[in-house]
Amino acid sequence: EDRKKQLAQQVNDPYAREPSRSADLEILSLRPFNAEPSKDVLAENYFTPNETFYVRNHLPVPQVKVEDYKLVVKAGDSIKKEFSLDYLKKNFPHATVPVTIQCAGNRRRGMSKVRGVDGLMWDSTAISTAEWTGVRLADVLRHVGVTESFVHKHGLRHVVFEGMDGGLDGKYGASISFERAYEKGADVLIAWEMNGEELPADHGYPARLVAPGLVGARSVKWLESIVVSPDESQSIWQQKDYKNIGPSHLNRMSSANAAKEAPPVREMPVQSAILVPEDKDELSLKDNTISLKGYAWGGGGRGIQRVDLTMDGGHSWTQAELCDTQDRRGATQKYSGVGDTPNPNQWAWTLWQADLPVDASQNKFDVCVKAVNSANDTQPETPMGIWNLRGLLNNSWHCIELYRE
């Protein structure tokens, strides 16, 4: 009898058929699978290779056959359509957009040093970048008859997404504002390709949402339905998690109550981190120069205008060099920085590098980085003022200790 139960549990194990994964991912949890790439991989690739793109799963990976895949699109009581992936590919213009996706919990480990927080202890690489190919959500909404007057007439204000991944709390779901979803320039995609390849199972095969500039949690994977609605997604991930509660709510009860009133996390704040060298590295420093590499991301479509480094706690600074990059077809792209007019579609990160001269007599170095985005917003020195019990949105100066070997 006991053996039968055991077997039945194995067969019913929702995690029994997870995809195989790269050994280069640093695993934070197996069930659900959550993992981040090494710092080297991020530093060496403007577009993160698919197999090492950070993975943030909330639930078991659903098994989906593309030939069975249907995307339901609904609005009000009168609009309901179903699309196969093949239909989407053949009937809408394709768009390819470079987009950085970042987990709201990126750098939670750093925030937890101020005071304990809940959640997976992400280091600074719960962020990755890809070229995503798909169709524009705005085009699909227009196609089914969603217009500005239609949503106004029916009081529809949000676009609610559900994935095929489910569990005790229902299917994974999230929503974004109608304005953001409908605006062509917002580049919200229903994507089936990532860096020119079909989506891996961990990243939403066969189709996912990509919502540029917003917290990663809104880019729903294994996308099953799209509903234009009067209300936000009622999922726990929209209603309870992924809220910026702030440093005045020290216990779970207070934090949960505040979450009911707070808006969901939408756009993310300006972020940066050092990728190379790593914290606690011992360097030969033969030429008394520390060479650093890292990323900066403006959030919400805002570009990066400057990255600054300090080795004395903020008293003196050196400007980093912002790297141009090559797109996947080898053409040089000015994805980085802000030009003489700001690029409103700066959805992807800026990689940077710097060579810092150091004193021959010094053996320990405290290096911090912070970035400035096109709106002149910058990062706070420490996580003290942005601390929250969920450990979200740590964008304080990223600091590492280095030693002379």
Cβ of residue 324: shortest distance to a second copy, in angstroms?
Answer: 15
Tell which positions 191-220 bind Mo ion, by CB under 5 A.
216-217
User: Applying CB under 8 A, which of residues 143, 256, 317, 356 lies at the interface with a second copy?
Assistant: 317
Quick note: the x/- pattern for a second copy over 355-374, rule CB under 8 A, is: ---------------x-xxx
> What is the rounded distance in angstroms from the CA atom of residue 211 to the CA atom of residue 14?
28
Q: Which is nearer to a second copy, 186 or 223 (CB)?
A: 186
- For residue 333, the partner it binds in Mo ion, a second copy, none, with Cβ less than 5 to 8 A by kind, is none
> Rounded to 5 degrees, what are φ and ψ at 112?
-65, -15
> What is the rounded distance in angstroms from the CA atom of residue 376 to the CA atom of residue 397?
15
- For residue 96, the partner it binds in Mo ion, a second copy, none, with Cβ less than 5 to 8 A by kind, is none
Give the Cβ contact number of residue 29 at 10 Å. 11
Cβ of residue 66: shortest distance to Mo ion, in angstroms?
Answer: 26
Distance from chain centroid for Cα 242 = 12
Structure letter (DSSP) for residue 240: T
Q: What angle do CA 119, 124, 129 make, to 5 degrees?
A: 110
- For residue 137, the partner it binds in Mo ion, a second copy, none, with Cβ less than 5 to 8 A by kind, is none
H/E stretch holding 97 reads strand 94-102
Cβ of residue 56: shortest distance to Mo ion, in angstroms?
Answer: 5
Tell which positions 224-253 bind a second copy, by CB under 8 A.
232, 244, 246-248
Quick note: the x/- pattern for Mo ion over 87-106, rule CB under 5 A, is: ----------------xx--
Tell me: does residue 150 bind a second copy (CB under 8 A).
Answer: no
Smallest CA-to-CA distance from 174 within 223, 131, 230 is with 223
- For residue 217, the partner it binds in Mo ion, a second copy, none, with Cβ less than 5 to 8 A by kind, is Mo ion
User: Applying CB under 8 A, which of residues 139, 198, 327, 377 lies at the interface with a second copy?
Assistant: 377
Tell me: does residue 154 bind a second copy (CB under 8 A).
Answer: no
Q: Cα–Cα distances in Å, from 337 out to 137, 212, 241?
A: 27, 17, 32
Cβ of residue 120: shortest distance to Mo ion, in angstroms?
Answer: 9
Cβ(64)–Cβ(165) below 8 Å:
no
> What is the rounded distance in angstroms from the CA atom of residue 323 to the CA atom of residue 42?
14
Q: Which is nearer to Mo ion, 103 or 228 (CB)?
A: 103
Cβ of residue 31: shortest distance to a second copy, in angstroms?
Answer: 30
Structure letter (DSSP) for residue 70: -
Tell me: does residue 315 bind a second copy (CB under 8 A).
Answer: yes
> Rounded to 5 degrees, what are φ and ψ at 43?
-65, -35
Quick note: the x/- pattern for Mo ion over 52-71, rule CB under 5 A, is: ----x---------------
User: Applying CB under 8 A, which of residues 338, 348, 367, 389 lies at the interface with a second copy?
Assistant: 338
Tell me: does residue 318 bind a second copy (CB under 8 A).
Answer: yes
Tokens describing residue 310: 């300090």
Question: What's the one-letter identity of residue 79?
Answer: I
Cβ(96)–Cβ(345) below 8 Å:
no
Cβ of residue 167: shortest distance to Mo ion, in angstroms?
Answer: 16
Tell me: does residue 308 bind a second copy (CB under 8 A).
Answer: yes
- How many residues bind a second copy (CB under 8 A)? The answer is 54
Tell which positions 174-233 bind a second copy, by CB under 8 A.
177-179, 232
Tell me: does residue 19 bind a second copy (CB under 8 A).
Answer: no
Please state the three-class secondary structure of 284-340 as a single string.
Answer: CCCCCEEEEEEEEECCCCCCEEEEEEECCCCCCCEECEECCEECCCCCEECCCCCCC
**Distance spanning both ends of the chain, measured CA to CA:** 61
Cβ of residue 308: shortest distance to a second copy, in angstroms?
Answer: 6
Tokens describing residue 366: 């405290």
Q: Which is nearer to a second copy, 8 or 384 (CB)?
A: 384
> What is the rounded distance in angstroms from the CA atom of residue 175 to the CA atom of residue 392?
18
Q: Which residues bind Mo ion (CB under 5 A)?
A: 56, 103-104, 216-217
Q: Which residues bind a second copy (CB under 8 A)?
A: 157-158, 177-179, 232, 244, 246-248, 262-263, 265-270, 299-300, 302, 305-306, 308, 310, 314-319, 338-342, 344, 370, 372-382, 384-386, 393, 397
